[in-house]
């Protein structure tokens, strides 16, 4: 159980793109839900992601009537993942952060259930869709995407999970250290680790307006998920090369067979061309795969992710053990060694 003696603060990170028709109703519903927890201090961080409608004016209106509202206005449309990142970057003081959509697809009352799971010790509570109210096309493409992701990604990324989730402040601090440009936040959160738990819910339909994710953006998003968490596509080049080179051996056997059994069918030069074609294109792919392997390493290095995240640093009094080495940047956990995270999960704040 988390320590609830001190008042805890919970920040909502709320990306907004063309939601003028939804904002007021959304905020009302959110306030209604948060009223169930008068023991917590809430903060609402709205991030306007270059909306073309009156969303900004609506948000500034909320800001005037409620001092707990923060409005960030991005200079243009940077996309949902960047909007959430901007919100997380200013939410680092909160004890827990909840990310949710502002089109009323993510029910506010579910976020209150997340808080209970957090207080019981979960560091991440992700909302998993029990049902999807999407078109058959979106359902089948999503299925194919998760199937690929399961097979290729280096970390297990849960299925049917969007960005609706609660994160403990330690997780928010760690996620903030991932500064890659092509962002796939749910992959980053999975990569960070800590205690992650699922909460099943039924996703509602969008209240008003249209989805800000056209097919083009969905494809790019899926590619970010796979390319950001796997170099398997690069290694596939080599594998294909070996298969095609293997064909050249089969081809050679076939040619030999024709020569021996039906010598009258063998056209001069045919064997050389046939075998050579498979052998050479196979070799080329293998060598491209070699380049791909180096490229993959450069890519991973260029992402410059933290090497690991600490959940506990209970340092001894031994004078020789003053710092923990092996990382590229200092861990945020190191500065907080006075906070103890034992198996009892007692948190001193
Ligand atoms: N959104 C955003 N920037 C964008 C597209 C969407 O901030 O470029 C916000 C949008 O306002 C909503 C959330 O991200 O709060 C999810 O977007 P949407 O409902 O369009 O996606 P879907 O639910 O269809 O996946
Ligand atoms: Mg939506």
Ligand 1 lining (C-beta closer than 6 Å): 15-17, 19, 49, 77, 79-80, 83, 101-103, 105, 206, 211-213
Domain locations in the chain as residue ranges: 7-212, 229-301
Residue 128 pLDDT greater than 50, yes or no:
yes
317 exposed, middle or buried (CB, 10 Å; 0-12, 13-18, 19+)?
exposed
- What mean pLDDT do residues 128-140 have? 80
Name the helix (H) or strand (E) containing 161.
strand 161-168
Ligand 1 atom with minimal separation from the 14 CA: 15
How many Cβ atoms from other residues are within 10 Å of residue 281's Cβ? 16
Residue 337 pLDDT greater than 50, yes or no:
no
Ligand 1 mean position to 39 CA, how many Å?
Answer: 31
How many Cβ atoms from other residues are within 10 Å of residue 347's Cβ? 19
- Identify the CATH number of the domain defined by range 7-212: 3.90.550.10
Q: Rounded to whole angstroms, how far apart are CA atoms 232 and 226?
A: 9
Q: Which residue has the tokens 């969303």?
A: 55
From the centroid of its chain, how far is CA 185? 3
Ligand 2 mean position to 100 CA, how many Å?
Answer: 10
Residue 45 pLDDT greater than 60, yes or no:
yes
Most confident of 86-100, 174-188, 201-215, 259-273: 86-100
Tokens of 32: 């209604």
From the centroid of its chain, how far is CA 141? 18
Residue 339 pLDDT greater than 60, yes or no:
no
pTM (2 d.p.): 0.78
Mean pLDDT of the chain: 84
Q: Rounded to whole angstroms, how far apart are CA atoms 133 and 144?
A: 17
- Ligand that lies nearest to the alpha carbon of residue 163, given by its number in the listed order: 1
Q: Rounded to whole angstroms, how far apart are CA atoms 109 and 14?
A: 15
């Amino acid at each position: 159980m988390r320590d609830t003696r001190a008042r805890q603060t919970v920040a909502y990170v709320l990306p907004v793109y063309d939601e003028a028709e939804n904002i007021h109703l959304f905020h009302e519903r959110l306030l209604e839900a948060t009223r169930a927890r008068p023991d917590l201090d809430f903060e609402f961080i709205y991030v306007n992601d270059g909306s073309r409608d009156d969303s900004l004016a609506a948000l500034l209106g909320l800001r005037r009537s409620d001092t707990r509202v923060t409005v960030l206005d991005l200079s243009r449309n940077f996309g949902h993942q960047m909007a959430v990142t901007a919100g997380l970057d200013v939410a680092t003081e909160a004890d827990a952060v909840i990310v949710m959509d502002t089109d009323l697809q993510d029910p506010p009352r579910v976020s209150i259930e997340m808080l209970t799971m957090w207080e019981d010790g979960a560091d991440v509570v992700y909302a998993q869709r029990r049902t999807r109210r999407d078109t058959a096309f979106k359902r089948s493409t999503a299925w194919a995407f998760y199937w690929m992701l399961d097979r290729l990604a280096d970390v297990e990324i849960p299925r049917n999970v969007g960005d609706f989730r609660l994160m403990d402040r330690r997780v928010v601090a760690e996620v903030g250290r991932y500064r890659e440009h092509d962002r796939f936040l749910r992959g980053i959160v999975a990569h960070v680790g800590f205690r992650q738990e699922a909460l099943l819910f039924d996703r509602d339909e969008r209240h008003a307006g249209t989805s800000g994710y056209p097919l083009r953006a969905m494809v790019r998003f899926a590619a970010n998920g796979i390319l950001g968490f796997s170099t398997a596509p690069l290694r596939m080049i080599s594998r294909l090369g070996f298969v095609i080179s293997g064909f050249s051996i089969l081809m050679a056997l076939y040619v030999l067979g024709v020569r021996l059994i039906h010598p009258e069918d063998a056209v001069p030069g045919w064997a050389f061309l046939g075998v050579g074609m498979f052998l050479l294109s196979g070799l080329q792919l293998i060598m491209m795969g070699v380049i791909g392997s180096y490229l993959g390493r450069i890519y991973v290095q260029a992402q410059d992710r933290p090497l690991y995240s600490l959940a506990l640093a209970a340092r001894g009094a031994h004078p020789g053990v003053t710092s923990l080495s092996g990382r590229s940047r200092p861990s945020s956990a190191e500065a907080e060694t006075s906070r103890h995270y034992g198996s009892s999960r007692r948190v001193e704040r």
